[in-house]
Amino acid sequence: MEDYTVSIDGLHGRKIVLGVSGGIAAYKAAELTRALGRMGADVHVALTEAGERFVSALTFHALSGNRVWTSPWDERMENGMPHIALGRGVDAIVVAPATADLIARLANGLADDLLATLCLARDCPLLLAPAMNRQMWENPATQRNVARLRADGVIFLGPEEGEQACGETGPGRMLEPGALCEALVAFFTPKRLAGRKVVMTAGPTFEAIDPVRGITNASSGKMGYAVATACARAGAEVVLVSGPVAVPTPAGVRRIEAASALRMRDEVLSALPGADVFIAVAAVADYRPAETVGHKLKKSGAAMRLELVPNPDILAEVAARPDAPFCVGFAAESHDLDAYAEGKRRAKRLPMLVGNLLADGLCGDDNTVVIYDDEGRHPLPRAPKAFVARQIVEHLARLLPTAAG
């Protein structure tokens, strides 16, 4: 089962009509229905006759908790017109899978079944997740239909390349349910950072003592990755310089691995040209061994001394540049949060710093933070890191100078 937790905040209060047409990828639509529901969406499924041959209406009914619609002649809808009523008050119609046949019918404005009629009569965005054999996808007729629908403002999610049910390999695979959920959340997120470049750090650093040992900090990377996800969803170009973590790279984010503080500094400096924002979430080790031994140290049983030298402060260095982007710091403190966090913000000359008490979340899924800026302190309620990240991004977007660069 895929992990949808990063997107947990995404679709609350959204009403979505999920159209399912007749392709083998319809089995993934069942999982998609469940995933959308978990993310808070109210899902209403419209099945084509061919779709119903692959997955029954009963399955979608059980997974969505809503009745499933298959026929324009269905009299269960109060006014007897499901093709109109079902599409009203809806935030989006998503068709997954969208077959070559359905795409062709939509491109020509046909209304020969309930789903096609719903799409024609809609007053909301239409998003299609194509799924078909690669030759059907590459056929000029399909490409013509896709281009026509794009010109009409229809949004395509995928397809991706890969192994196909027919045994061939190529473009035409439907996006996985997790990727479709992520694309939908991104679609609904206001593009407050459109046209902005964000450079970030996240995770711990690892300062090697010898080839197998090192000094590191406790940091899961979850908060930083949630901030990177929120920035990407808000339309930013995101470069994430990351220490060693076990978190997948968020969609639309360029991730650069940098284990040590020195490496992280170099990667940040080379990613910096053109950046509007720098966000330092990484728990950078303050010290590193004065030298890294090339071979594995042998234990002797005697006490051992390790000489440590200070690491550069990446954030302070970036913030001190004459061409500094808008800099956001993070500070995790064990006590006296206000005094230490505001002290760090001033010392590093940052317009914005996000502080939290260690007891309130380091490696967990929730966090309680306070944002500090020139206007004072702004406490946020305890929430999953994805929610917190979105609020941090909204706060930063408000403070960001309007002229880019």
# binding residues, ligand C5P (CB under 6 A):
14
**Quick check: 282 binds ligand C5P (CB under 6 A)?**
yes
Q: Which of 101, 160, 176, 313 binds ligand C5P (CB under 6 A)?
A: 313
CB 329 within 8 A of CB 345: yes
Strand, coil or helix: 375? coil
Minimum separation from the CB atom of position 212 to ligand C5P (A): 24
Dig out the tokens for 393 from the structure.
């991004």
- Binders of ligand C5P in range 11-70 (CB under 6 A): none
Phi-psi region of 109 (alpha: psi -120 to 50; beta: other; left: phi over 0): left
Dig out the tokens for 370 from the structure.
């306070």
Q: Which of 185, 314, 357, 369 binds ligand C5P (CB under 6 A)?
A: 314
Give whichever of 227 and 331 is closer to ligand C5P, judged by the CB atom. 331
Q: What are phi and psi of 288, to 5 degrees?
A: -135, 155
**Quick check: 266 binds ligand C5P (CB under 6 A)?**
no
**Cα Rg, the chain, nearest whole Å:** 25
Q: Given the rule CB under 6 A, which of 67-75, 104-112, 137-145, 327-335 is the region that contacts ligand C5P?
A: 327-335
CB 231 within 8 A of CB 238: yes
CB 25 within 8 A of CB 97: yes
Non-local (6+) Cβ contacts of 222 within 8 A are 247, 363, 364, 365, 385
Give whichever of 82 and 243 is closer to ligand C5P, judged by the CB atom. 243
- Could you identify the residue written with the tokens 């020969």? 112
Q: Which of 95, 280, 337, 370 binds ligand C5P (CB under 6 A)?
A: 280
Dig out the tokens for 143 from the structure.
């490409």
Minimum separation from the CB atom of position 312 to ligand C5P (A): 6
Q: Given the rule CB under 6 A, which of 110-118, 158-166, 178-186, 276-284 is the region that contacts ligand C5P?
A: 276-284
**Quick check: 93 binds ligand C5P (CB under 6 A)?**
no
CB 267 within 8 A of CB 241: yes
Give whichever of 93 and 328 is closer to ligand C5P, judged by the CB atom. 328
Minimum separation from the CB atom of position 357 to ligand C5P (A): 13
Task: Kindly list the catalytic residues.
Answer: 166
**Quick check: 227 binds ligand C5P (CB under 6 A)?**
no
Residues in touch with ligand C5P (CB under 6 A): 201, 261, 280-282, 284, 311, 313-315, 329-331, 344
